[in-house]
Amino acid sequence: MKIPLVNCSLPRAKQRGFTLLEAMIALMIVAMALPALITLVLTQLDGSAAIRDKTYAYWVAENQLTRVRLLQQQKAKKALADYKVPEKDSGTVDMMGLRWQWQMKSIAMDTLPVPGFTRIEIAVRLLGTADGASLGRASVDEDQPALARLTGYISDPELP
């Protein structure tokens, strides 16, 4: 039995799959795009945390303004007849697992045509976690911008 000789110059059947060069180029493209994608995701996470912290800071400020308004209402009902809105006040509060420092300043609005209004300005800064762990700050830096600033107005209940 004679084995036929195969002609080497005949065209081969078309190959399927990727060549090594094509696979290396694809891996190089993925390797360059992946860090950019990871950076984008981390930036989005940082932005979400900043928005969350600002929201909590505004809640703290709103709580303090509400506290002052409630004390003013009690003064009007004569339950706290000797209460006077302090010119300056500050304190710390734990909320949402974080410790917040708030500062309140009251300014009499003598320039208004209607007397008896007081402007209340509240600034809130993040101190650290509620369990005492600091977020890199030993104390509140007054020069650091507050996460939230809230301005409200109250009237003196004794004036008509």
> Which residues are CB-neighbours of 52 under 8 A, at least 6 positions away?
none
Residue 138: predicted pLDDT? 46
CA quadruple 130, 134, 136, 140: dihedral sign: positive
Residue 32: predicted pLDDT? 92
**By percentage, how much of the chain surpasses pLDDT 70?**
81
Highest mean pLDDT among 14-18, 28-32, 114-118, 128-132: 28-32
Report the C-alpha gap between 78 and 34 in whole angstroms: 66
Residue 58: predicted pLDDT? 96
Domain ranges of the chain: 20-155
Residue 62: predicted pLDDT? 96
What's domain 20-155's architecture? Answer: 2-Layer Sandwich (3.30)
Q: What mean pLDDT value characterizes the chain?
A: 83
Interval 120-154: pLDDT, tens: 999 999 988 877 665 545 455 566 789 999 999 88
pLDDT tier, 27 (very low <50, low <70, confident <90, very high otherwise): very high
> Which residues are CB-neighbours of 59 under 8 A, at least 6 positions away?
95
Report the C-alpha gap between 65 and 124 in whole angstroms: 12
Q: Are 89 and 57 in contact (CB under 8 A)?
A: no
Interval 76-111: pLDDT, tens: 777 777 788 889 999 999 998 899 999 999 988 877
